[in-house]
Structure 1
Amino acid sequence: MSTIPTGTYVIMNATTHTYLNVLAFQPVPGDIVNSVGNYLGNDMWNVLKTESCGITIQSYGTGAFLAFDPSNKTDTPAGSVVTSTSIYPWNLQKNTAVPYAWYIVDNYTGQGLSVKNNSAANAAQVLEARLTQNGSQAWFFIPKEPLAGTN
């Protein structure tokens, strides 16, 4: 397992060039989608390495944690990528298909985040899927300086 430094990032999909986003700043369980970029807090994520579970990914704009909920069948029969009030464990693995990119892997399911149908459309659904060796699950972590009034 590898990681990136603790910090605030925009997380961009390498294939779609869209950003991991909490749809319309929804409260928990907020829907996780990809956005074309609004430069607000729902496009920014605090990433923190933990002692025991890899990393946590927390929305800068809502304070909620990126999570996978197997009981929420809104997105797929397996569950939905949403926000949670509880810390949720992820880990990062280098994506060998795209330099400087990472898989975002669920510690519980072993699956990685991907954008449904590799869609570049605003609000395209983010899902969990079996890891593949291509760019569809490659994510760039771009350091972002939070600005006042963006959350």
Structure 2
Amino acid sequence: MNTRGTFKCELEMLVNGRRQNVTIRSADTLLRVLREHLGLTGAKAGCENGDCGACTVIVNGLPIKSCLMLAVETQGSSIATIEGLQNAPIQQAFIDKFAFQCGFCTPGFIMVCHALVNTQPNADEDLIKEWLQSNICRCTGYEEIREAVRSVMTLE
């Protein structure tokens, strides 16, 4: 504990396949640690209360809103950020289907869609819509995003 009463701790994280050691406050969110300690700025700080999904990353294969998860909760977990996808098919599908406009929400959507394709490769239209409800885009309709997901699912 430091003089301000804030607990600091050492945390070993597995992010994008690489072990990272960071010293953080016990109250730091995963979003803040990724952005401020590791320089991974793809997850965006949008609403910071779990509504918009711009901060979505994948933890142990599932999409997680990193603004709602404490970094210390990730001990022993595998974390993937947009920077770690390395040319995943869904990234090209977003380009091909024009599934973005301003781009602020795009990393979060790509992470949700990547997790959906990997965990539910035969998802029907209702399941796709359900998964996409976790993220908000204020610039475009969701049809192009759904088309991007469907196009990747038909590749497999």
* Range into which the TM-score falls when normalised by the shorter chain: under 0.3
Larger relative contact order (Cα-Cα within 8 Å, sequence gap ≥ 6): 1
The structure with the larger Rg is 2
The alignment's TM-score, normalised by the length of structure 1, stands at 0.28
Between Structure 1 and Structure 2, the one with more helix by share is 2
The alignment's TM-score, normalised by the length of structure 2, stands at 0.27
